Amino acid sequence: MSSRVTPQQYGQAVLENVQGGAYPESEDVVSAELHPSALPEVSKLIEQAREYAKATIRQTSRESAPDVDGWISQAKLLRVDIQRSQEIAREIVEQARQGEQLEEQVNDATSKVDLLNGEVAFNRSLGGTLERLHAIQRTLVLIRRAAFDNRLLEAVDLLSQVDGDLESIPISRSTRVAGVLGAEVADLRSHVIERVTECWNSYVKVDTPTSLITIIRGSESDNSSTYDMTSLIKAMSKLQLFDDVLIRFCKDFESLILFPRLQVRADGTVGTLKIDGQTISMSRQSSDLSAQALFSDLDSITTFLRSNLPPAVVRPLPSLLMPHLISRLISIWLASAVPEDLDGMEDFEDTLSLVEKFGITLDTYGWPGREELVEWARSISNVWIRKRQETSLNNVRVLLSKGLGTIETVERIESQVLSRNDEVFAGNEEGEDWNSEWSDEEPTSLTNTTHPTIAHKGDYEDEEDVSAWGLDHEREDADADKDQKQSGVADDEAEAWGWGDEKEDEDSKKPSKATSLGPKKPKSNGIPDAPQQSEREVTLKETYNITSLPQELLEVIAQVISDSERLENSDHANSSIAAAAPNLLSLPGLILAMYRASAPSTYSHHPSGPMFLYDDCLWLAERLQQLPSYQTTSLGKLIQSGTAYNPNQDSHIQALETFGKRAYAKELETQRTVITDLLDGAQGFRNCTEYPYNQDCDVAVASTVDRLRDLNNQWKGVLSHSALLQSLGSLLSTVTNKIIIDIEEMSDISEPESQQLTTYCNRIAALEDLFLPTKEQAPNIMPTAENDKQEPVPLTALYTPRWLKFRYLANILESSLVDIKYLWTEGELGLEFDTAEVTDLIAALFADSPHRRNAIAEIRRRRGVR
């Protein structure tokens, strides 16, 4: 303990803290440690403080004792008041409980009074309901009695009254009384309906088995004294039966009377109408199909209905009966009465007069139908042209469904004067196909299709443009070979049509590269130049085969055009169908369109169907072009008259030609695909001397040769000779192109492989015997007298592009370096191959040596004859 802090200070600090929570102000006291010796002093101070507090409390208690006694007395009084309030509250609660009991008694009494009042009202309502039900029951008895006495209109009125009474009765329909009463009313209604139906059937008797209908007028009925037709119709109307009964009568009348009279049977007969007083029937069949008899019967039918049916039935009957009658009259009878040609128009004019007269009769009666007949008569020209269209198209369909028919050989002869500047003046005019000038996308004039022009030298610079002619010489080697490698073995359809000839005039002005070699140098196709003449007349004469289909189509089209002229110029100019003359000229186009649409399926059944289709289309187009009427139709008058229809004959012919060409091109493309697939079996002729690849190569080449010979045998009985050579040349070109490409792609060719490839090329070259000219062609190709003793020269080079290149390739495969170099420097090898092709072949055929390098250097230095 610090010497500076006394025990009294410790005790005082603790006491102040206990009494008031104060802390000592002296830092010494706060920081000093409490020593055990100070505890007695601290306890003493605390005890003194406690004693002082007790004394203070006692003194304060003695001083405030009187006030505490007053408080106690007041608390006792308050307790007495609380007890008295509780007693009063208990009395109030008891009185409230007694009031509730009284209120319950009052409510119970009130509910009893209401119940009694409800019972009284229910009894009164029940009594009234029972009285009304009893009245309804009496009414039902009256209805039953009226129905029994045939007072049907009264019975129906009473039924309506009963329905109203039942609706007004406040009774649930699920109650037993309502159910029984409703069932009784329904039974009674059914009975009344049955009686009404019996009465109607007693007036209108329909005997379906005998096709007989009898209408008994009210005055002649057995029970006419009790009811008549007018009352019966009113009763049926109130029962909502009249419409159904009338519809059923119309159906029976149509099926038994009208339809047998309007419908012509398969044996060409119709029903015979018989009217006997109030009976109408259809009896035996009649072969009288005249319009006079028909409209006479229709007048008799309308008169029968108006005479025997009451006005209440006649008024609504036409609106139900006449629409079906007029519709069938127009669609069945009048439509079939429209003649298919002009021969029956005089009789049909009489029919139109009868139609007009019948319409006037209907209008007089106030019956509908005249407007429909008048409208049909006004549109008779459209009806006739539609029927003519349907008949013509159906005839084409039937014609095509019978097949190709007979095969006929036809001949085409064309003459043309050629100048000495023409390429084929020297003699290939007969070997060329007149079809090569036709274009599929942009057709030339019709004159060019039948009178072909002969192409000039300039046309041969583009291989695809002249592939149809078969000429393959004097062209730019580098460009041609580059295009060939890009196109591969695929031949364009232009090879068949000679597309691109529209550049003839421009290209003809370009000098041919062959002419630069001099007149003494032979042509690349092996045919010598012809003698120089100023001009010469060339006659193209060939035969080919067609089916009977185009001839029959031509007859149909010629008849249509003839009828169009008759409508304009003959007595038919004033007839009701004269306005159809312009539209009649649309039939040739529709007939040709029908032919084009159906021909593929018809021709597909023949092995040479596409080629027959090609010949048929071109023959038909040529004959259509030669029809005088097809060219001299007064189109200007038609346009001036306001018809504004352009038959566009040229487009029809061009579409037909294009259709035939496409069939031809599609067939060639199919055969190209087949041949390409066969050659693909050789796998590029690699390892052609090793087993088993050599067998695959042998099979591929043999199959290709056999395929081309089979096609020759198949097509030579269809196509003209020039078209046949053109087709075979296009396919052979596919073969040679693929073989050339496959061999040029071989980087190394051994001597055995070279010999084997030469053998394959010789097998393909043996196909030259397919391209021999005919007897008529040979003199034109070899026009000199001394050539008459020689064998005909095959026209393979004319019809097979790159044929000479293929033959040179076979020579290269079996030639030495010296021979190849000689062909390049002194011969015509440079006309077919470029420098890169020759050097690549030498590198593949010969081993590396100074001789090979010298030969290649020499070839590159001297680029050959161009």
Secondary structure of 189-224 in the HEC alphabet?
Answer: HHHHHHHHHHHHHHHEEEECCCCEEEECCHHHCCCC
> What pLDDT, on a 0 to 100 scale, did the predictor assign at position 225?
37
Give the lowest-confidence range in 183-187, 320-324, 562-566: 183-187
State the Cα–Cα distance between residues 686 and 676, nearest whole angstrom.
17
Mean pLDDT of 830-837: 91
Average pLDDT of the chain, as a whole number: 76
> What pLDDT, on a 0 to 100 scale, did the predictor assign at position 437?
33
For residue 719, name the pLDDT band (cuts at 50, 70, 90).
very high
> What pLDDT, on a 0 to 100 scale, did the predictor assign at position 377?
83
Q: Count Cα atoms within 13 angstroms, Cβ side, for 428.
A: 27
Cβ atoms of 181 and 166 within 8 Å: the answer is yes
State the Cα–Cα distance between residues 226 and 668, nearest whole angstrom.
92
For residue 463, name the pLDDT band (cuts at 50, 70, 90).
very low
Higher pLDDT, 27 or 753: 753
> What pLDDT, on a 0 to 100 scale, did the predictor assign at position 514?
32
> What pLDDT, on a 0 to 100 scale, did the predictor assign at position 740?
95
3-state class (DSSP) for residue 787: helix
Which CATH class for the 682-861 domain? Answer: mainly alpha
Mean pLDDT of 579-607: 86
Mean pLDDT of 39-52: 82
Higher pLDDT, 163 or 504: 163
> What pLDDT, on a 0 to 100 scale, did the predictor assign at position 678?
95
pTM beyond 0.75: the answer is: no
> What pLDDT, on a 0 to 100 scale, did the predictor assign at position 826?
87
Mean pLDDT of 520-544: 55
Mean pLDDT of 608-631: 84
The secondary structure of 797-844 as a DSSP string is HHHSTTHHHHHHHHHHHT--HHHHHHHHHTSSGGGT--HHHHHHHHHH
For residue 493, name the pLDDT band (cuts at 50, 70, 90).
very low
Cβ atoms of 188 and 140 within 8 Å: the answer is yes
Question: Smallest Cα–Cα separation from 469: which of 509, 501, 445?
Answer: 501
State the Cα–Cα distance between residues 668 and 817, nearest whole angstrom.
39
For residue 348, name the pLDDT band (cuts at 50, 70, 90).
confident
Give the lowest-confidence range in 194-208, 495-509, 842-856: 495-509
Spatial neighbors of 752 by CB under 8 A, at least 6 apart, are 689
Question: Smallest Cα–Cα separation from 308: which of 215, 227, 200, 205?
Answer: 215
Query: Which residue carries 């706060």 as its tokens?
Result: 30
Residues of the chain with CATH 1.10.357: 682-861
The secondary structure of 349-369 as a DSSP string is HHHHHHHHHHHHHHHHHT-S-
Cβ atoms of 613 and 599 within 8 Å: the answer is yes
Give the lowest-confidence range in 621-630, 710-719, 803-812: 621-630
| pLDDT higher than threshold 90 for residue 741 | yes
Quote the tokens at residue 120.
């009284």
| 93, 430, 613, 618, 715 from 413: Cα distances, Å | 140, 11, 21, 14, 21
| 305, 812, 848 from 749: Cα distances, Å | 103, 12, 13
Helix H or strand E segment including 284: strand 279-286
> What pLDDT, on a 0 to 100 scale, did the predictor assign at position 706?
96
Mean pLDDT of 627-642: 44
Mean pLDDT of 100-116: 88
Q: Is the peptide bond before 692 cis (omega within 30 degrees of 0)?
A: yes
Sign of the torsion angle spanned by Cα atoms 666, 670, 671, 676: positive
Question: Smallest Cα–Cα separation from 365: which of 291, 309, 282?
Answer: 309
Give the lowest-confidence range in 201-205, 214-218, 258-262, 290-294: 214-218
| pLDDT higher than threshold 60 for residue 151 | yes
Cβ atoms of 771 and 728 within 8 Å: the answer is yes
| pLDDT higher than threshold 60 for residue 470 | no
Higher pLDDT, 286 or 89: 89
- Rounded to 5°, the CA angle 707-711-712 comes to 115
> What pLDDT, on a 0 to 100 scale, did the predictor assign at position 455?
31
For residue 498, name the pLDDT band (cuts at 50, 70, 90).
very low
The secondary structure of 608-670 as a DSSP string is THHHHHHHHHHHHHHHHHH-HHHHH--HHHHHHTT------HHHHHHHHHHHHHHHHHHHHHH
> What pLDDT, on a 0 to 100 scale, did the predictor assign at position 40?
84
Give the lowest-confidence range in 2-16, 477-491, 516-530: 516-530
> What pLDDT, on a 0 to 100 scale, did the predictor assign at position 427?
39
> What pLDDT, on a 0 to 100 scale, did the predictor assign at position 579?
67
3-state class (DSSP) for residue 255: helix
> What pLDDT, on a 0 to 100 scale, did the predictor assign at position 178?
66
| pLDDT higher than threshold 50 for residue 231 | yes
> What pLDDT, on a 0 to 100 scale, did the predictor assign at position 282?
86
State the Cα–Cα distance between residues 464 and 478, nearest whole angstrom.
15
